[in-house]
Every structure is written in structure tokens, then in C-alpha cells.
Structure 1
């Protein structure tokens, strides 16, 4: 008999230790890779500004502002874009890689093709321009607003809370405006409208998403003959989505290309509704032919519309929200070059490029964290539920535009996710027998080691409370940071 060699335990232990150290080193490098690339982009933005403007006493301020604008754009991409593609990822209609590519392409296209060529220097008209007529004071106020908004969105991304970048910029402008010109400089009625949107946006988005989910469950997924119901209603739902997004893009996403009134946009939407219905009806019949009569087959019919919705939302978001990154930057560029404070300025093409590519880089480098939060961690989504979220986002923006309300796309989309989750809780409780409810709750409570749980929760309350708290304090937190930064900058300059 050949004697087997005895295992060398010391060698095995050393090998395991070495493998562990190599894995830890690789993970550490990956953690620092994204911030390093982001920092390089910020520096690159400053270098681009220096090459365009040259080196002079005025250009130093613009170069620094370009770097800050790039930093702000990175944070918008990391936080805000998740609302557009998160539901599609959570529903497994898109992979994370596919979502990042689609969002980056359509965000950049929306910003460069349809982003506004004129932007308000005082965000949303909340500060009287005459109150900060001094160019130097105005420049430091815009610096403070840009820094505070970027820092706040960065902090929110770090804790995993999707917040409104528009509200962050508004808070930054308010804080800097009050610090520069006093509390009377603020247009408080406008601020009241913005504050009201904190409540209206998520509630309206949640209610509309829940209504669509109830309709689909009642008339399609819970019907006895699901495929026959799908052939009847899914083309209608796709047509509603096509019409809604046509109106959404006409009103919000194509302002630079062409100015379209809401009435004309509604006619465009009606035309797209009819055309989409006529096109999608035979397509749905072909897709549903031979499929089993179950809910999974119904959900699969919503996958392609959901991907299209994610792309269209990204395009419209890029067209609108790039101004949050480049608005204060464009204001600083104009004021430094012209030596005057105006209510609106044109956006130089290089400034728009910084904003567009910054949003895309931020999404690719840091976006997956918030995409998973919105799409997977708040509540469980499938293509049907995610479709309701996307459709709700478009319809809510249309209603808000008609009413003249300043709403947040972030609040609408996340509110729609909440609405879907809470509706599922209520619907599940209503349609399930008491004995089955008690048995399933008891099983879940036993798994969690808790005897106090009384209701089956399909929305994670910890995430819900964290996000709501972040929404409530966004404007005051950004305003406070901005005021502090303004006092520091203004003090250093005098």
C-alpha cells in the first residue's frame, strides 16, 4: 500500500490567508476606483474650462465653478437617474448593465438634444435678482448653492435615500440668498408651492400607480381567461402609456427643439394613443398565442413597454434636470464674463456637455446603489407593477403641468413605488382569508424571531421612513449648508 502524504495544515492556512488578502485588496481597489474616476472627471472639467477660456483673473472663478458643476452632475447621475430605470431593474426587465447603458445614452441625448438653451439664474424664481445685484456677491451665492446642493445629494446617496436634486438646488439658492440679501429676498409664495409639492408629488404618483395596478389585477391578471383579458386590455394600456409619454415629452422634454402648448400636446398624445393601439393589438395577439393561462404570461407582455418607458423617462430627465447641474454654473460664467446679474442666461455648449457627461458618469460609477434601492429594496416589483410606476410618473407630471404645480420627478417615481407596495398590502389582506393571513404572519414572525408583528408588510418601513425624512429636510439642510458656505466664501473674498 502506498502511503498517502499528510496534509500540510500550515501551508493550507497560509494559502487561505493569501487568497483572503488578495480578495480584500481587490475589493478595496474597486471601492476606490469609482471615486478616483469621478475625481478625474471633475479635474478634467476644470481643464476643459481653462482651455476654452484661457488663464486670467476671471477665468479662475469659472474654472472652479466648472469643477463644481461636474461634481454636481456626478451626484445627479448617482441619485436621481435611479428613479427612471430602477423599477425596470427590480422587475428583471433590464439587467443592471443594460439599465446603465440605456440610461446613460438617453440621459445624454436628452441633455444635449433637448436640454434648454436658456436657464434661470435664480432657481425657480425664488430669489429677487435685484436683491443680489452685486456681481461678486451673486457669484459667491451661486457657488454656495452649487456646493451645498452637491454635498447634500452626495450625503443622501451615501445613506441610500433618493432625493430631489431640484429641491436641493432650491434649498441652496434660498440659503445663499438669505445670507446675501436677507429673508425678504425670498419669494415665499413660490416657496410655499414648492413645499406643497413635497406632499402632492408622492401622493399623486402613489395613488395613480395604485389605481392602474388595481385595474390590471382586477381585469387581467386575476381574470379566469387571462390571455383573452390580456388581448383586450394590454393594447389599451400600451396605448395609454404611448399617449402619456408623448404628452410628457412634448411638454417637458422637447422645449429646446420646439415650444408646444399643453393643448397641442394633448392632441399629439391622442394621436399616439390611437396609433399605438392599432399597432400593439396584433402584436399582443401574436405574443400571447400559445402561452399558458397564468400570471407569468401576462407579466411578460409588459416587459418591452417597460424598457421603452425607462428609456423615455431617462431622455426627459436629461432634458430637464441637466439644468440643476449647469444652471448655477451658467449663471457664474455669464456674471464673471459680463459683470452683470440677470434673471436668465444662455447656456454655453461646453457647460451643457459638462452637465450631460457628468450625469452619465455619475450614473455609471455610483448609480447601482440607488437603482437597487428604488427597484428592489423598497418593495418587490415585477414587470406589471413597474409598468404602473413608470406610467404613473408620466401622467403625474402631465397633471402637475396642467395645474401649474412645481413637482419633483424623484418624489413622483418613489411615491409610485410606495403606492404599489401599500396597495399590495391592502389588496393581499382584503383578498386572503383570515386564517391564511394569521398563519402566514405567524410563520414570518417566527422567522424574524418576533411575536409582535400583526400585519404582513410588503413595503420596508425602515426605507420608507428614511426616504420621507430625507425629503422633509432636503431644502432646510441644503439651505443651511449653503448659508454657511456663502459666509465663508464671502468672508475670504473681502
Structure 2
């Protein structure tokens, strides 16, 4: 293989691991914002718990990785430059939304970035529309399901414990919330680290290192470690938005949010369906907030979150497209 192509492969792997690291601190809030905001666990304890369980979750399965790696475009029909530009589009958009404290979706960002770079390389016709439709449909439907279960779960808790004093109830649920946060962190690993696994494996197939799409062990470990390290770095801006500014939560609310979210994410991951952990948990928070009263939701924050959701795929696609156009004359082969 040409030396320049090998250099591009190394750049792709490095960029994918950087994306995974950024994804870790960008999405730390998904697993720990609610338990930090309710003071169920210390910030340091929550972060290290989330980091460890993110790692374990990332090592469990590769079904989501296969969906990402094969569902958007044939790995054998693209170049390393396409994958690199797509990853850079996702990284840049993630950093922008992190800077402004917006819990946007890293899943949407990587899909958008890859779509943009593929279009720049081979046109719209190169995309797998059936697979892309499936991926985007799941990403749209999963937050709705998260909001529904968050609402229903919270209403059920209100009814079951309607005669219990609030102080004692929250004291007990503060302990239970640590368990639900741990499950949420594990589910985050099963979903988000696998996007990078899929991208790296796509690049390896494109290069010719792999004859078929099968995630190597070293890719699993590398992505799991990068995600865990990023999680340990924290994501304070987004934690504040999700855990404090959106809806004021008590331990019982946080327990319902995390349990409902983890259930949706783990169910989807078991079927190989890529969800946005960011969308699912913020939607579950919305559902829990609405179960109290409409005014419990900070609708200005909700507006900012939804705006970020809507523009993430086209914005990341635009950056991925421009990245390919700019870099391909210098690095492409």
C-alpha cells in the first residue's frame, strides 16, 4: 500500500480516538448530571464511576458499530480522506456545542460528518439511503420514547409513594439513584463508543487491512479507553445545562430519568440500533418535568437544546463536506 495511504489511515484512527475522547467529556452529563445535581454522589465519585462503566459498556457488543460502519456507505467504496473529513466534521461541531454548553448529539455529529464527506467524494448517490433512513429514524424516535417513559415512570412513582413523606423518600432514592446512574453510564458505553469503533473499522476495510467488517479487539479497547478518559475529564458546561438549568430535580426524579433512559438505550443497543444518549436523557428529563407541571421546565433552555438537535446533522455534514474539499487536494490519494 502507498505510504501516503498508510499515513491517512493513522490519521483516521487518531482522529476517531480523539472524537471518542471528546465524546466522553461532551457526553459525561448524560450519565452523571442528574445524580450530581441532586447530590446523590460527589462530582469526583460520579465522574470516575461513569468512566469505568463507560469502558465496560463499550466492550460488551459491536452491533451498533456494524450499523454505523455499514449502514451509511460501503467501506470498500470510499477513501481514507472521506472518513477523516467526516470525523473532523463531528469533532469541530462537538467542540462548538460543548463551548456553548449545548447537549447536542455526538451520534448526530458523526453521522452528519460522514454524510457530508461522502457527498463531497462521490455524490448523494453513494449513500445507503435505506440504512441511513433506519439510523435517522431511530435517532428521532428514541427521544420521544425516552420522554414517554420518563413521564410514565414518574407518574407511577408519584402514585406508589403518594403517602410517603418527601424527606424520607428522597433520602432513600438518593441511594437508589447511584445505582441508576451506574446503569446509565454503562448504557452510554454500549452506545456511544461503538460509533468510533464503526468508523475505525470502516477505515480498515477501506485500506484493505480487513477483508470483512469485523471490529478488531484492539479497536474495541482503544475506543473504550478513549471514551473512559474523556468521561474522566468531565464536561462541566453541559452538566450545568442538563442537571441544573433545564429542570430542577430531586433524587426520585433523577432515578426515574436515569432508569428510563438506560432502558431505552440498552434496548436499542441490543438490537444494534444507534441512539443518541444525549437526546434520550434530556427527553426523559423533559418527561419527568412535565409530570410535575409545565412550568417546571425551563423552556428557554429547551429551545436551545432542540435547536442544537435540529441543526447538528446538517451543520456537521457541512463541516465534513468542506473538510473533504479543502484537505483532499493535499492529503487525498
Structure 2 equivalent of residue 296 of structure 1? 167
Structure 2 equivalent of residue 314 of structure 1? 185
Aligned pairs (5 A) from 1:369-380: 369-380=237-248
Residue 475 of structure 1: how far off its partner (Å): 1.1
Matched, 1:141 2:10: no
8 Å CA contact retained: 2:72, 2:131: yes
Residue 485 of structure 1: how far off its partner (Å): 0.9
Aligned pairs (5 A) from 1:59-208: 59-111=6-58, 113-116=59-62, 119-120=65-66, 123=69, 125-129=71-75, 133=77, 137-208=78-149
| Segment of structure 1 superposing worse, 187-196 or 356-365 | 187-196
| TM-score of the superposed pair, with normalisation by structure 1 | 0.61
Residue 96 of structure 1: how far off its partner (Å): 0.9
Aligned pairs (5 A) from 1:251-262: none
Matched, 1:466 2:304: yes
Residue 76 of structure 1: how far off its partner (Å): 0.5
**Unaligned stretches of 5+ in structure 2?**
none
8 Å CA contact retained: 2:82, 2:118: yes
Q: 1:118, 1:304 → 2: CA distance? A: 31
Q: 2:308, 2:95 → 1: CA distance? A: 12
Q: 1:160, 1:192 → 2: CA distance? A: 29
Distance 1:403 1:354, change over 3 A: closer
**CA deviation map 1:198-232 (0-9, x unaligned):** 44222221121111111211231x32xx2xxxxxx
8 Å CA contact retained: 1:171, 1:475: yes
**CA deviation map 1:226-252 (0-9, x unaligned):** 2xxxxxxxxxxxxxxxxxxxxxxxxxx
Distance 1:420 1:122, change over 3 A: closer
Determine which of 254, 276, 279 is the counterpart of 1:408. Answer: 276
RMSD over equivalenced CA pairs, Å = 2.7
**Unaligned stretches of 5+ in structure 1?**
1-55, 227-293, 427-456
Q: 1:408, 1:106 → 2: CA distance? A: 18
Structure 2 equivalent of residue 347 of structure 1? 216
8 Å CA contact retained: 2:28, 2:234: no
**CA deviation map 1:266-301 (0-9, x unaligned):** xxxxxxxxxxxxxxxxxxxxxxxxxxxx21101222
Structure 1 equivalent of residue 317 of structure 2? 479
Q: 2:171, 2:18 → 1: CA distance? A: 39
Helix, strand or coil for the counterpart of 2:256? helix
Q: Which has the larger radius of gyration?
A: 1
Q: 1:104, 1:474 → 2: CA distance? A: 25
Structure 1 equivalent of residue 251 of structure 2? 383
Matched, 1:331 2:202: yes
Q: 2:201, 2:274 → 1: CA distance? A: 22
Q: 2:266, 2:21 → 1: CA distance? A: 28
Residue 395 of structure 1: how far off its partner (Å): 3.1
**CA deviation map 1:371-426 (0-9, x unaligned):** 22222221111110011101211333466579986532221111001111122124
- Pick 1 or 2: higher relative contact order, CA cutoff 8 A, min separation 6: 2
Distance 1:210 1:144, change over 3 A: same
Distance 1:78 1:118, change over 3 A: closer
| TM-score of the superposed pair, with normalisation by structure 2 | 0.88
**CA deviation map 1:453-478 (0-9, x unaligned):** xxxx3222221111101111111111
